[in-house]
Each structure stands twice: as C-alpha cells, then as structure tokens.
A and B are shown apart, each in its own frame.
Chain A
Amino acid sequence: MTAIEMQPPRLILGPVAWLRKNLFSTWYNVLLTLLALGLLYALLRPAVQWSLTEARWGVISANLTLFMVGQYPRDQLWRVWLSIYLLGALLGLSWGIWKHAARGFALIALGAGLAFAVIGLLLNSNVWINWLLSVGILLGFYALGRILPARGRSILTLAWLLYFPLVILLIAGSRFIPFLSPVPTNIWGGLLLTLMITIIANVVSLPLGILLALGRRSKLPVVRYFSIGYIELMRGVPLVTVLFMAYLLVPLFLPLGVRPPDAVIRAIVGFILFEAAYQAENVRGGLQAVGRGQYEAAQALGLSGPLTMSFIILPQALRAVIPAIFNSFISLFKDTSLVAIIGLFDILRVGRSVLAQSEWLGTHREVFLFAFFIYWGFNLAFTYGSRRMEEALGVGKR
C-alpha cells in the first residue's frame, strides 16, 4: 500500500478577499485601518512634499567625500579604495568557496556596489569607475573561488583574519613602509572613522570579554568578584561617561614623558573597556549553554583544565554566541556616533561642520536624515547578511 501524498490546496485570495481578511475583518479593524490610513496621509504628504520641493539635497552631494572620509588626505584615498577592493575580493572568494554561508553578504555587497556606481554616474563623479571595478573584482574572485580546490578553505580563513590588521595598517600607514606615509588619526573622519573604531574595538574587546567571562565563572573568589565588579560597573554607567573618562583620564594615567595619544585612540580605549563587559556577558551565555557532559567527557579523556577550556568548551561556546556577537557589532556601530561628543569628526560632527558653511545654513533635516540613512542602510545590510550566514551554518540549531 502506498501512501498518497497530497498537499492541502493552496489558499489563494483575490485582492478583494485579501483586503477583507487583512484590513476590514471586523468593525474595529475597519476603524483602525481608516485611522492608520489617515495618519499615514497626514504624516507622509508633507514629508514627501518637503523632500521633493523644499529640501536642498545639494548639501549632501556637495560634501559627500567629507561625509565619507572626513579630512583624510585626498591624494591618499587610493588606500581606502584598496581596502574596498580587498574586501570585494575576499567576499567573492568566500562566496565561491563557502557558498551559502557567505552568499548573503556577497549579494548585499554586489547590490550596494552597483547602486553606488549608479549614484556616482548620476552625480557626475568619477567614483563609479571604482565601484564598478570593485564589483568586477568580487565577481572575478567568485569565479576563482568556484574552481579553486578545497584546499583553499583554510587559506581563506587566514586571509580574513589578516584582512582587518592589514586594513588598519593601510589606513593608518607607517613610517617604515615607503608608499604608506602615516596618516595621523586626528584627521580620520566621517564614515571611515566610524567603521575603523567599530572594527578595532570589536576585534580587541572580544578576547578581553572572553577573559572576563571565564573570570566570572572562576572558582577563585578574588578573580570572580573582580570580574563581576568590573562587568557590573561598566554595564551600570552610560557609554558616554566611559568615553569621557577615557578621554580625560588616559593622559593622566600615562607615565611622565609619554606623549598622550590623540582623541581617536583614547575613544577606542573607552569603547574597548566598555564593550569588553558586554562581550563578557555574551560569552558567559555561550559558556552556560555548553552541557556538563562536555566537561566530564574531557576530564575522562584526561585533558587538563586549560586544555578542556580552549579545545572543548570555548569553541562550542563561541559558536553558540555568534548571533549575539553580530548584534553587539551592530550596536557598537551605532554607538560610535557618540564620539561626536568628545570632539571626533564622525558623520554627525562632519554634518555639524557642514551646517556651519554659509552656503548650507539651515539644512539640518537633510544632513541628519542622510546620517540616519547611512546607519540604517548599513545595519539593514549587515543584519541581512549575518542572518543568512547563521541560517546556512545552522547556528543555534545544531
């Protein structure tokens, strides 16, 4: 006897039936729908009218480079482009080799690159060539990744690990490399500054957070109470106060004769101190998710405490907290906007300086909406990419 497999018939609603079911099912739903429509009309009509007629969007296109990189020397911009090309190459390669896991990020990058190229063309700027080139690089490396033997996988991981230090070196420069003259951090600005702070603070705070999480679960009371005290202190005060503290106190804490670092470095120190406490709580969640059996099995196999931790427990714990780490990346990215308060030239502060130009007085809405959209677009893209990656890796399911 064979079972007859039959899908239930698909429910297909006509447009009228759909409207009736989703918008006008009961008398109060009718009321709510009409109210919502009225509200939308009242809010959107003036907004659309303003953005099409009154708004002076020229303030954005005229200062786009300033918003993106601040005062970064214009003749050194090739370093920023090089970082983007490298990112494109790595994304393409990952897409080709890791397939589904990296596809979300790669597709987003592809779409964004094409969109920026079109915007560049519309604004009559030369950047469209650069964007088209990065898209080409991404696609080229995708093709390369497809034909590369499986051995390439481990190299790819290594390349990603090397990418971030390399970008920091590229952007910051060094006295010892001939083509890379140092660019002092105090002239970094705009989106570039935001991204650099986010990346550095995240990369450094994760190991610190792991140490703090282990300390919080330690059997040694002194270590445990120190970790708890630090974590709760940092979580109990606003980020702004930590940044402010780092800004004012780092010079005081350094020994005599050491030149105090400039504001960007101090801000990064503040972010690391703050973010480490939050990362510690993320990692602690992951550690708690690893079952007792894992510890016992490792012990039965004769592994010592540190070996158990680094080869059995932490890999599983960190895998479980990938979504949480992605989330704190996004929230740190948003939080970098606070550096404007201690005087760094991030997007917000660049916006304020643009508003001070006599030509663009009173364009507050345009400037802040633009900043708003940068953050929103970036976070949306990042969320999409990371969700696709989590789905493909089955994070939290296996």
Chain B
Amino acid sequence: MSLPPFLRNVRVLQLLAQILFVLLLALAAGFLYANVTTNLARQGLTVGYDFITNPASFDIGESYISYEASDSYGRALLVGLVNTLVVSALGIILTTVVGVIAGIARLSSNWLISRIAAAYVGVIRNTPLIIQLAFWYFGIILKLPPVREAVALPGSIFLTQRGMYLPGFEPTPAFNFWRIYIWIALASLAIIWFMLRLIQNRSELPLPLWAYLAYIVVPILILWVGFVTQPEPPLKANLPVLTGLNFRGGLRLTPEFAALLFGLVVYTGAFIAEVVRAGIQAVSRGQVEAARSLGFTGAQALHLIIFPQALRVIIPPLTSQYLNLAKNSSLAIAIGYPDLFSIAGTVINQTGATIEVIVIMMLSYLSMSLFTSLLMNIYNSRMRLVER
C-alpha cells in the first residue's frame, strides 16, 4: 500500500499534526466547558462580572487606598493588589540589601563572619517560608510585650505585640519653600553623573574613587545653603510617644505587615546571598590578578573589573528571586495580612464567583511577573551592551 504523495510531504504531515493537536485541545476545552456550565447551572450560578460593582460589606485590616465596607468588590480586590504591591516593593529593596551583605559575608576572609552567613543561608533555604512566617508572627511578634511595656530600641523604635512604632516625618510650614532646594539637589546629581561620564570618556585612566564623592558632597552643600537661608528644616521628626493606652504619632507597622515583610526579606535574602556569591565566584581569579598587576587598587579592581562581570551573571537569577518574593507574598494569608490572594478568597466565599475571581487574581500576578521580568530584561540587556 502506498500513500498518496501529499501525505508523504513533511510539511503536510506537520500541518495535519498541528490540526489534530488543536482539535484535541478544543475537544478537551469543550468537555470542560460543558461540565462547568452544567455544574454551575445546577448550583444556580452564572458566570459574569456583574458582582464586581456590588458592595463588598466586609472590612479590611489595613489599606493604602481609601476603603470602606460599603465599597464595591472591585475596590476590595484593588486594595488587595495594592497591599501586595506595597509589601513586594519594600521587600525587594530590603532583601537586596540583606542578600548582598550576606553573600559578601559568605566570602569574607573572617572565619566567624563567613560561618554565620553560611548558617543563615543553610537554615533559611531549607525550611518552608510558611513555617518561618508562622514562627515570626505567632512565636515572636505576638509574644512581644503589650504596649505599656514596649521594647524600646535606640532611635525611638518601639516593639509591641500591637505592631512596630517607628519615627516618622511630617512637613513643616517651610516645606513649600524647601521644594526648590530639593529639586536643585536632585538635578545636581544628574549633572554630576553627566559630567563624570564626560570626563571618563576623555581620559584613559579610570576616575579616582574620590571623584565619586561629588555625589555626596554637592547635594549636601546645596541643602546646607537651604538650612542657612530658611528659618526651619523641611521635615520634622514625628516620634511615637506613649500617651495613655497607646502610642501617638510616628509610623505604625501592623504585626501582620511587619511579620510578612520580615519573613519575606529574611527568606529571599538567603537565596539572593547564594546568587551574589555564585556571581562573584564566577569571575575568575585571573581577572583580579590581572587588574592588580595593571596597577588597580583593590577597591578599583572590585568596582571596575569584578562587579561589572559579576553583575552579568547575577542579574538573571536575581530577577527570578524578585519574582519569587512577589509570588511568595501570597502566603500572607497564613498570618492574616490582607493581600490580593486573601481578599480574593473572601470575595469567592461571599459571591461564589469562583472562576471570575481566580481569573482576575491569576492575571494580576501574571502581569506583575511579566512586568518585573520585562524591566529586568531591559536592565540586563543594557549591562550586556556596556560589556561588549
């Protein structure tokens, strides 16, 4: 038996295989769709996004945008999204600091420091985040003393079981006049950056390290002029003070927020430490030795030779750690921080709009992930261009 010639054509076969694949997918999807509609019909539910404008009528513990129980479900989900974004953004900044310090500490020539860093990384990476969060929240923060016996740390920081109180700042009447100085100081940073680049491009030698001090000295000078000419500083510290049964003033972090942020930062920091260590170790010893024999000082070699090369190795895995942190913030539900996932759960419970809310939730997380990796990819490609 011989096949007709067009069936022996590879391209026709490939096309047929794809059509078959699509058909199978469509069949599976149709089967699931039919099941879902009959199941929903039996429960008397309809699919649709009408519920989103109905009043949510539940309270949310903390929110960065105005919200009341009479607001809509859509607003409630938005509150959750903003809460997730706030804790993720803060977490990413803090965990980078923790991770880089721990990563460098692991490579320290000081035995004690490198052992401590290794123990931190080893223990934290090998245990589940959700148990760490439960431990920080139930085991540490909720066991702190009550407000009246708050643990006072230097710098007007108070730890209590009702949350953490930090010094805050509030603008003084002179703040409006200060704006001009602040803008000039910021503009000076851009100008310095531009000037240093110009000088760097003209000269063969790397700039001496003290040239970078300009970044610190010039803005301070500008602000100093401000202090001389203005009657009062732009911001005044707003310290938390114990008055009666509670603290007044200052900045309050709820126990849930504090535990979640702390847990996420500690957990992701351990992973970033490994990323940083691997990145630095990926730069071969020869590079350091070559830099030293060309007459670079240790600091110059680190800054101009090792870091740019290490960064190239570090950025891709660092991106995925940032994404992990944002995704892991969904574990907030275990300790009662109202993030997107936890509010979505409440909305599903109240409305029964399971599929719709899950779609909203997944799309939100997905676009967060895609947006972050887009940003990091742009940064990554810029680093590469600088390199070669």
For residue B130, CB closer than 8 A to chain A, the reply is yes
**Residues B131 and A368 in contact, CB atoms below 8 Å apart:** yes
**Residues B135 and A236 in contact, CB atoms below 8 Å apart:** no
Which of A73-81, A142-150, A164-172, A333-341 lies at the interface with chain B? A333-341
**Residues A220 and B17 in contact, CB atoms below 8 Å apart:** yes
* Chain B residue nearest to A25 in the complex (CB): B109
* Chain B residue nearest to A245 in the complex (CB): B358
Q: Kindly identify which residue among A235, A330, A365 contacts B139, using a CB–CB cutoff of 8 Å.
A: A365
CB distance from B317 to the nearest CB of A (A): 13
- CB contact list, A215-250 vs B, under 8 A: 219-223, 226, 233, 235-241, 244-245, 248-249
**Residues B113 and A36 in contact, CB atoms below 8 Å apart:** yes
For residue B111, CB closer than 8 A to chain A, the reply is yes
**Residues A22 and B139 in contact, CB atoms below 8 Å apart:** no
List, in ascending order, chain B residues with CB within 8 A of A110's CB: none
**Residues A223 and B127 in contact, CB atoms below 8 Å apart:** no
* Chain A residue nearest to B333 in the complex (CB): A341
**Residues A375 and B362 in contact, CB atoms below 8 Å apart:** no
Q: A32-B110, A222-B21 are in contact. Are A348 and B134 (CB under 8 A)?
A: yes
List, in ascending order, chain B residues with CB within 8 A of A254's CB: 35, 39
For residue A369, CB closer than 8 A to chain B, the reply is yes
For residue B42, CB closer than 8 A to chain A, the reply is yes
For residue B354, CB closer than 8 A to chain A, the reply is yes
List, in ascending order, chain A residues with CB within 8 A of B123's CB: 376
Contact string against B for A residues 203-218, beta-carbon threshold 8 Å, 1 for contact and 0 otherwise: 0000000000000000
Q: A223-B21, A238-B328, A240-B341 are in contact. Are A337 and B130 (CB under 8 A)?
A: yes
CB distance from B112 to the nearest CB of A (A): 5
For residue B38, CB closer than 8 A to chain A, the reply is yes
Chain B interfacial residues counted at CB < 8 A: 56
Q: How far is the CA of A253 from the CA of B358 in the complex (A)?
A: 14
List, in ascending order, chain B residues with CB within 8 A of A372's CB: 127, 131-132, 135
Q: A220-B14, A236-B370, A365-B135 are in contact. Are A256 and B21 (CB under 8 A)?
A: no
Contact string against B for A residues 313-342, beta-carbon threshold 8 Å, 1 for contact and 0 otherwise: 000000000000000001000110110110
Scoring A22, A25, A252, A334 by chain B CB atoms within 10 A of each residue's CB, the highest score goes to A252
Q: How far is the CA of A225 from the CA of B134 in the complex (A)?
A: 40
Q: Kindly identify which residue among A25, A241, A251 contacts B341, using a CB–CB cutoff of 8 Å.
A: A241
Q: How far is the CA of A129 from the CA of B130 in the complex (A)?
A: 34
Q: A23-B111, A249-B355, A252-B354 are in contact. Are A368 and B21 (CB under 8 A)?
A: no
Q: How far is the CA of A227 from the CA of B323 in the complex (A)?
A: 21
List, in ascending order, chain A residues with CB within 8 A of B36's CB: 252-253
CB distance from A236 to the nearest CB of B (A): 4
Scoring A219, A233, A244 by chain B CB atoms within 10 A of each residue's CB, the highest score goes to A244
Q: Kindly identify which residue among B18, B128, B139, B323 contacts A221, using a CB–CB cutoff of 8 Å.
A: B18
CB distance from A132 to the nearest CB of B (A): 28
List, in ascending order, chain A residues with CB within 8 A of B138's CB: 364, 368
* Chain A residue nearest to B330 in the complex (CB): A238
**Residues B365 and A241 in contact, CB atoms below 8 Å apart:** yes
Q: How far is the CA of A203 from the CA of B361 in the complex (A)?
A: 29
**Residues A236 and B358 in contact, CB atoms below 8 Å apart:** no
List, in ascending order, chain A residues with CB within 8 A of B122's CB: 380
Q: A238-B327, A240-B341, A334-B128 are in contact. Are A220 and B21 (CB under 8 A)?
A: yes
For residue B116, CB closer than 8 A to chain A, the reply is yes
Q: How far is the CA of A276 from the CA of B127 in the complex (A)?
A: 22
**Residues A334 and B127 in contact, CB atoms below 8 Å apart:** yes
CB distance from A378 to the nearest CB of B (A): 9
Scoring B129, B333, B348, B362 by chain A CB atoms within 10 A of each residue's CB, the highest score goes to B362
Q: How far is the CA of A241 from the CA of B327 in the complex (A)?
A: 10
- CB contact list, A39-87 vs B, under 8 A: 40
Q: How far is the CA of A56 from the CA of B282 in the complex (A)?
A: 47
List, in ascending order, chain B residues with CB within 8 A of A375's CB: 126-128, 131
CB distance from B131 to the nearest CB of A (A): 5
CB distance from A165 to the nearest CB of B (A): 27
CB distance from B352 to the nearest CB of A (A): 10
List, in ascending order, chain A residues with CB within 8 A of B128's CB: 334-335, 337-338, 348, 375
**Residues B39 and A244 in contact, CB atoms below 8 Å apart:** no
Contact string against B for A residues 121-156, beta-carbon threshold 8 Å, 1 for contact and 0 otherwise: 000000000000000000000000000000000000
Q: How far is the CA of A204 from the CA of B334 in the complex (A)?
A: 28
For residue A255, CB closer than 8 A to chain B, the reply is yes
Contact string against A for B residues 333-365, beta-carbon threshold 8 Å, 1 for contact and 0 otherwise: 110000001000100100000110010011001
Q: How far is the CA of A150 from the CA of B22 in the complex (A)?
A: 49
Q: A236-B370, A241-B361, A248-B354 are in contact. Are A22 and B111 (CB under 8 A)?
A: yes
Q: How far is the CA of A372 from the CA of B32 in the complex (A)?
A: 40
Q: A348-B134, A364-B139, A368-B138 are in contact. Are A29 and B109 (CB under 8 A)?
A: yes
Q: How far is the CA of A254 from the CA of B35 in the complex (A)?
A: 6
Contact string against A for B residues 70-93, beta-carbon threshold 8 Å, 1 for contact and 0 otherwise: 000000000000000000000000
List, in ascending order, chain A residues with CB within 8 A of B327's CB: 237-239
For residue B369, CB closer than 8 A to chain A, the reply is yes
For residue B331, CB closer than 8 A to chain A, the reply is yes
**Residues B345 and A236 in contact, CB atoms below 8 Å apart:** no
- Of the A-B pairs whose beta carbons lie under 8 Å apart in the complex, a sample of 26, sorted by A's number, is A23-B111, A25-B109, A29-B110, A32-B108, A32-B112, A32-B113, A37-B112, A220-B18, A222-B22, A239-B327, A240-B331, A241-B330, A241-B341, A244-B345, A253-B32, A256-B35, A341-B130, A341-B334, A365-B143, A368-B135, A368-B139, A371-B131, A376-B123, A376-B127, A379-B127, A380-B122
Which residues of A approach B to under 8 Å, CB–CB? 22-23, 25, 29, 32-33, 36-37, 40, 219-223, 226, 233, 235-241, 244-245, 248-249, 251-256, 330, 334-335, 337-338, 340-341, 348, 364-365, 368-369, 371-372, 375-376, 379-380, 383
Nearest 8 interchain pairs by C-beta: A22-B111, A238-B327, A337-B128, A236-B369, A379-B126, A365-B139, A364-B138, A368-B135
Which residues of B approach A to under 8 Å, CB–CB? 14, 17-18, 21-22, 25, 31-32, 35-36, 38-40, 42, 108-113, 116, 122-123, 126-132, 134-135, 138-140, 142-143, 323, 327-328, 330-331, 333-334, 341, 345, 348, 354-355, 358, 361-362, 365-366, 369-370
